[in-house]
Amino acid sequence: MSQSKGRLAASALSSLEMPRDGLTEVAFMGRSNAGKSSLINALLGVKAAHTSSTPGRTQRIHFYTMPSWYIVDLPGFGYARASHKAREIFGQAVEDYLAHRQPLVGGVLIQDARRDAEEEEQMVVRWADSRNILLVVAASKMDRLNRAQQRDRHEKLVEQYQRPVFLVSNRTGEGLDQVRGAIRGLGLTI
Ligand SMILES: Nc1nc2c(ncn2[C@@H]2O[C@H](COP(=O)(O)OP(=O)(O)O)[C@@H](O)[C@H]2O)c(=O)[nH]1
Ligand SMILES: [Mg+2]
């Protein structure tokens, strides 16, 4: 079943190791521990992505098979500190991927619903706008918030991002259909 959903199709350190079939790609990104792997697994309904990974710059870009497209799991980005340079936040391989990859049409930015958008997240927004890539924000761990807090955080995050923000729980599955809907809006099957 080499075409089965969630199969790891490639694990790349450079463009040479990426798929060459030209299938559409949607990149999942976010800072470490935001819930990226959990979201990918929850969306797939299979445990494809590892929920704990080694930190550092040499992490690979993982491509998971979907029906005629790929979920691309980018290494979690670190803290910008004083830097505003994409290369220092994402690492060279990811910067190259985000800047030049042709099949890339969509992005899902995962962030903890309890945090505000910081410089790294704003950089992702600027990147998506500059490349005309559809970007949605999945604000994870909503199960940690009560109803009033959920409303409050959603309002604040929409204000910060100025684009759709979906509150999700990778534990309960709440909100995941909105992320699926956004992906379907790109003409992709999920
Ligand atoms: N309560 C709760 N915990 C979550 C959720 N998503 C992820 N986590 C937890 O947050 C931690 C980091 O998740 P992981 O998916 O590995 O984050 P990644 O580093 O962004 O890939 C793990 O302990 C997860 O179980 C969520 O929606 N709700
Ligand atoms: Mg992870």
* DSSP H or E stretch at residue 148: helix 147-161
> Does the structure show a pLDDT above 90 at 53?
no
Ligand 1 atom with least separation from CA of 34: 20
Between 84 and 72, the more confident residue is: 72
Question: What are the residues whose beta carbons fall under 8 Å from the beta carbon of 127, sequence distance 6 or more?
Answer: 86, 98, 99, 133
pLDDT greater than 60 at residue 82: no
Q: CA separation (Å) from 80 to 57, 76, 131, 154, 184?
A: 13, 12, 21, 24, 32
pLDDT, residue 148, reads 98
The answer to whether position 190 is within a domain reads: no
Which ligand is nearest to the Cα of residue 34, counting in written order?
A: 1
pLDDT of residue 152: 98
Domain for residue 189, yes or no? Answer: no
Quick one: pLDDT at residue 59?
75
Question: What's the pLDDT tens digit per position in 104-129?
Answer: 999 999 999 999 999 899 999 999 99
Residues 6 or more apart whose CB falls under 8 angstroms from that of 183 comprise 26, 106, 108, 190
Ion ligand 2 neighbours, Cβ < 5 Å: 36-37, 53
Number of domains forming the structure of the chain: 1
Q: Examine the pLDDT at 50 and tell me if it is beyond 80.
A: no
Indicate if the pLDDT at residue 80 is higher than 90. Answer: no
In a domain, 90, yes or no: yes
Range of the domain at 123: 8-184
Structural domain contains residue 46 = yes
Residue 31, domain member (yes or no): yes
172 CA closest ligand 1 atom index: 27
* Within-domain flag for 3: no
Contact in structure between 29 and 73 (CB atoms under 8 Å)? no
Query: Which distant-in-sequence residues (6+ apart) come within 8 Å of 79 by Cβ?
Result: 31, 120
Q: What span, in angstroms and rounded, lies between the C-alpha atoms of 11 and 60?
A: 6
Residue at 102 is within a domain? yes
The answer to whether residue 47 sits within a structural domain is yes
Indicate whether residue 140 lines ligand 1 (CB < 6 A).
yes
Question: Which range is least confidently modeled, 1-10, 96-105, 119-128?
Answer: 1-10
- Ligand 1 centroid–CA 16 distance in Å is 31
State the pLDDT confidence band at 56, using cuts at 50, 70 and 90.
very low
Residue 18 sits in a domain whose CATH number is 3.40.50.300
How far is C-alpha 83 from the geometric centre of its chain's CA atoms?
Answer: 22
**Global pTM?**
0.92
